[in-house]
Amino acid sequence: MLPMESTPFSICNHAIRQDEAGRYCLNDLHKSAGGQNRHRPSLWLKNQRTRKLVGAINRAEAAKAGNPALGQNQGLTSEASETGFSVTEKINDLAPVNIVKGFDGDQGTYVCKELVYAYAMWVNPDFELLVIRTFDAVVQAQLKAKDAKYDRLYDKYNRDDLDRVCDSMIMQQQIRSLESEVQELRSDLNALRVDRDAYHHCLVACEHEMGEQKQEIADLRLDLSIWKPKSLQ
């Protein structure tokens, strides 16, 4: 029983209004059908078949809501109003028929999609076919709009994902480059350590050799001082 999304559309150049719940104005449909008195919505609402259809819709919605008893004896009742419809009892906060009174331009009888089809069938087969095709066109337009919206979102997310993948690949390449540089630096550092150790060993050896030479010189000086002639002392 739920209506289509509220989308402005017209039939035979007559705009079909919708109420806040998305129900469709029978008065506008009556104008689209030619506006003949015998097709007035009030006459159709009093039709016994219409009453039974409204009751069936209420029972179906009540069953869907998990409370079948709620839909019993709801729908068109002779004592409810001049149209014979009870507008006070609702299922899922949405009655099949909503009668709006007043002088603000929104007054009229608004019904769910199933009742729109039933009213069009009651008028004549040509109008029924026109209504069905119009509603199908509106639904298709809504689906295409949704598909286009989803495609845009899909493309956007795909682009975002692609950007993230590209950024990740660039970062991975940079990481590999840094790892290579770090490896080269480690190799250079190890080479410097080897050179340092070699220099240290060489320095120790030189110091040792210099120490031996100093000792040898000291021994020679001592020997010279012992064997030096007294005349030269």
Q: Cα-flanking dihedrals φ and ψ of residue 215, to 5°?
A: -65, -40
168 or 47, higher pLDDT = 47
Rounded to two decimals, what is the model's pTM?
A: 0.55
The sign of the torsion formed by the CA atoms of 137, 49, 123, 58 equals negative
42 or 227, higher pLDDT = 42
Ordered by start, the domain boundaries in the chain are: 10-123
Q: pLDDT tens, 153-162? A: 666 666 666 6
Helix H or strand E segment including 104: none
Share of the chain above pLDDT 90, in %: 27
Which is nearest to 116 in space by CA: 104, 89, 98, 93? 98
Give the C-alpha separation, 193 to 203, whole Å.
Answer: 15
Which of 27-41, 54-68, 196-210 reaches the highest mean pLDDT? Answer: 27-41
> Quick one: tokens of 181?
């540089």
Q: How many residues in total does the chain contain?
A: 233
Helix residue ranges per DSSP H, 77-124: 113-123
Query: Mean pLDDT in the chain?
Result: 78
> 152-184 burial, b if ≥16 CB within 10 A, otherwise e?
eeeeeeeeeeeeeeeeeeeeeeeeeeeeeeeee
Give the C-alpha separation, 224 to 68, whole Å.
Answer: 133
What's the pLDDT at 81?
42
What's the pLDDT at 84?
43
Residue type, 151: D
Which is nearest to 62 in space by CA: 91, 32, 36? 91
Q: pLDDT tens, 84-97? A: 444 434 544 568 99
